[in-house]
């Protein structure tokens, strides 16, 4: 008994230590799992918050476009903004995500239709990542509504919206964000100056060329008539909504809360580029035409936002000032150039999105820093033309692809069901002609002549 008691006294502490070690190991492992789950949950919430903000930008686009066009077409443009997000959501769910992020080749993806077997492109659940990307897809689709406002058939617009969301936009997305050929060349586009804005802007350009100008926009001698928007307050509200939503657009593209420095830099660069774009656009139009035009200043802010979207993570705040400032000047001269070419863009969609989408993409090759994530130093920092050349190749390829594919789409639609409403319907207004309702009931807001 004595020996047994001695053995128990010796073994008891060892047993306690052993059991404690096992419990501690289990608790530590469970703790690690719990922490990992919390971090993933926070990342998921961050991505979803970005998706919600980008979705809210649809309201901003709607307000801007409605404010910049005639009152008699307000219901029509808002219906297009509403329905193109619906069409984009369905098209991107059925086909678009698979083409953009599915396993495939350098040109397109082939797997994950209806999200069957699809995988998330970030360390968040598939559904969260899909919703974020679907909101981007909807933003690209809605850009065209403004450029072709006031004379495009509603049914044709719905068909266009589904086609670009399901089949056209995702191809460019695959090239750049889905591991396609441009991604392999180290092409950089952090949040979509090319993927979203160049795609939407160039589609608007070829669409409005085929659609031809609004009645009364241009005189026989080639000079342009100003067709003012009916509500600057509405447009102003839209710009503020877009500016606010752009923080989700750009900062949300970090897809994680892990790097606070990155998120803060992206948010700061986004804000400062918008501010300088608004200032330089106002100063430019003031100098050229003698008045500080608010509508042009607002488009200047949007131009700065578009331009900084691609480089927002890769440049310094000082570079963001230059990028936004140049964007604000470009949008003014872009509007002037379109009028000289007799291309009627009622809201400035092409100068804001196409022209500044290209500029923002190229800006990475000029101001991008290797330490901030690009493959090669930008031209301004002694890196030569290598990154700039890659950016130019990607931007040029995107422009050509969208110009050709959307040109075919719009031409086929024009030859089959038609792109444009009748002259009578255009003069009376698309609200009545297309929808049988008025945006401002009780007010006679249409005219029977151009």
Is residue 131 within 8 Å of residue 328, measured between CB atoms?
no
- Note the pLDDT tens digit of each residue in 285-296: 999 999 999 999
CA atoms of 323 and 303, how far apart (whole Å): 10
Per-residue tokens: 149: 């406002």
CA atoms of 266 and 313, how far apart (whole Å): 5
Positive or negative, the CA dihedral 120, 121, 123, 125 is negative
> 218 forms bridges with which residues in the sheet?
224
pLDDT of residue 33: 73
Which DSSP state fits 350?
I
Alpha helices in 252-315 (DSSP H): 260-289, 294-309
> 162 forms bridges with which residues in the sheet?
none
pLDDT of residue 30: 57
Residues of the chain scoring pLDDT < 50: 1-4, 7-8, 10-12, 14-29
pLDDT of residue 69: 97
- Note the pLDDT tens digit of each residue in 99-155: 999 999 999 999 999 999 999 999 999 999 999 999 999 999 999 999 999 999 999
Distances (CA, A) of 185 to 106, 332, 386, 389: 11, 33, 11, 11
Q: Which secondary-structure segment (H or E) carries 2? A: helix 2-68
pLDDT of residue 34: 81
Q: Which secondary-structure segment (H or E) carries 309? A: helix 294-309
Distances (CA, A) of 51 to 147, 243, 299, 304: 25, 15, 23, 21
φ, ψ for residue 152, nearest 5 deg: -95, 140
Is residue 387 within 8 Å of residue 378, measured between CB atoms?
yes
Which residue do the tokens 């073994």 mark? 11
User: Which residues, at least 6 apart from 416, have a Cβ–Cβ distance to it below 8 Å?
Assistant: none
CA atoms of 172 and 194, how far apart (whole Å): 8
> 224 forms bridges with which residues in the sheet?
218
pLDDT of residue 59: 97
């Amino acid at each position: 008994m004595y020996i047994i008691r001695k053995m128990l006294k010796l073994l008891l502490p060892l047993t306690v230590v052993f059991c404690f070690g096992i419990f501690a190991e289990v608790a530590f492992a469970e703790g690690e799992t719990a922490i990992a789950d919390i971090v993933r949950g926070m990342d998921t919430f961050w991505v979803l918050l970005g998706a919600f903000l980008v979705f809210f930008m649809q309201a901003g686009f709607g307000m801007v476009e409605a404010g910049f066009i005639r009152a008699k077409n307000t219901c029509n443009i808002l219906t297009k903004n509403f329905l193109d997000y619906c069409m984009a959501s369905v098209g991107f769910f059925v086909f678009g995500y698979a083409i953009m992020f599915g396993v495939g080749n350098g040109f397109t993806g082939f797997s994950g239709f209806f999200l069957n077997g699809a995988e998330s492109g970030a360390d968040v659940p598939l559904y969260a990542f899909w919703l974020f990307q679907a909101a981007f897809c909807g933003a690209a689709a809605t850009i065209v509504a403004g450029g072709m406002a006031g004379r495009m058939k509603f049914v044709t617009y719905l068909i266009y919206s589904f086609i670009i969301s399901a089949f056209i936009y995702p191809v460019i997305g695959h090239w750049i964000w889905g591991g396609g050929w441009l991604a392999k060349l180290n092409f950089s586009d952090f949040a979509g100056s090319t993927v979203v804005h160049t795609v939407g802007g160039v589609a608007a350009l070829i669409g409005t060329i085929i659609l031809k100008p609004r009645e009364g926009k241009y005189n026989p001698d080639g000079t342009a008539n100003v067709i003012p928007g009916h509500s600057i307050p509405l447009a102003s509200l839209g710009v503020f909504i877009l500016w606010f939503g752009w923080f989700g657009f750009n900062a949300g593209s970090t897809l994680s809360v892990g790097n606070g420095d990155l998120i803060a830099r992206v948010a700061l660069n986004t804000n400062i580029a918008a501010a300088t774009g608004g200032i330089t656009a106002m100063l430019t139009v003031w100098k050229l035409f003698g008045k500080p035009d608010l509508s042009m200043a607002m488009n200047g802010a949007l131009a700065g936002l578009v331009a900084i979207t691609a480089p927002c993570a890769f440049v310094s705040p000082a570079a963001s000032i230059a990028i936004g400032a140049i964007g604000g000047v470009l949008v003014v001269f872009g509007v002037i150039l379109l009028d000289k070419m007799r291309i009627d863009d009622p809201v400035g969609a092409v100068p804001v999105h196409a022209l500044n989408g290209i500029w923002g993409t190229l800006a990475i090759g000029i101001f991008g820093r290797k330490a901030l994530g690009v493959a090669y130093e930008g031209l301004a920092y002694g890196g030569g033309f290598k990154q700039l050349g890659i950016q130019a190749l990607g931007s040029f390829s995107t422009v050509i692809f969208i110009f050709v594919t959307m040109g075919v789409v719009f031409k086929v639609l024009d030859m089959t069901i038609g792109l444009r409403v009748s002259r009578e319907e255009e003069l009376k207004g698309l609200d009545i002609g297309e929808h049988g309702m008025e945006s401002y009931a009780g007010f006679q807001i249409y005219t029977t002549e151009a």
